[in-house]
Amino acid sequence: MTNGKRIVIACILCLAQIILSNYLYVSHYLVLNLLPLVILSLPASRGVNVAMLVAFVAGFAVDFASTGILGLSSAALLPVALLRFPILRAVGGEEYLVHRDSPPVGHLTTRGVFLATLSAAAVFFLCYVFIDAAGTRPLWFNLTRMLLSSVASAALMTFLNLFLFVEK
């Protein structure tokens, strides 16, 4: 996969997230987010600094173009960028990080992709929900929102991964 194709896919995922944020309101308990897939799809040759820069720019762009609080997605996506390699190592081991110029999620099994995206979504929504609530909502509501949003977003990201990153 070329760099140009990866950049186009990342932009399309950010645009899809903007559309989801602006036009698809499911409930107070469920928020769909595709941004962790943008971070997990970075090739293994890109280090933590590049991943954190991509996380900040993508999160800020989505917040700026949607109805979100400016900086909320960036703040929630930065820990995902920081934990990208540990998540991929825990799910797939070192052998999936050997392919330096292709997305590691393209080489994982469907179960592995679901576990990786679920882990990344859990980290993302842990930060997102608790920063968004800022102590104004009860703990049970925040935990329910985090759990439902993580599972639903991971399922959606796994489905998208099958079409975008799996080598045929």
The dihedral through the CA atoms of 126, 80, 84, 27 has a sign that is positive
User: What is the reported pLDDT for 59?
Assistant: 94
- The count of domains in the chain is 1
Q: Which domain holds residue 104?
A: 3-164
- pTM higher than 0.75 for the full model? yes
Query: Rounded to an integer, what distance in angstroms lies between the CA atom of residue 106 and that of residue 40?
Result: 10
The whole-number average pLDDT for the span 5-25 is: 90
CA separation, residue 83 to residues 19, 87, 94, 127 (Å) = 27, 6, 15, 13
Q: Could you report the per-residue pLDDT of 119-139, keeping only the tens digit for each?
A: 999 999 999 999 988 888 899
For the chain, percent of residues with pLDDT exceeding 90:
58
CATH number of the structural domain spanning residue 40: 1.10.1760
Residue 41 above 60 pLDDT? yes
For the chain, percent of residues with pLDDT exceeding 70:
93
**H helices of 42-138, where?**
48-65, 72-82, 84-92, 110-133
Confidence band (pLDDT; 50, 70, 90) for 45? confident
Confidence band (pLDDT; 50, 70, 90) for 93? confident
Q: Which residue has the higher pLDDT, 67 or 110?
A: 110
Beta bridge partners of 30: 27
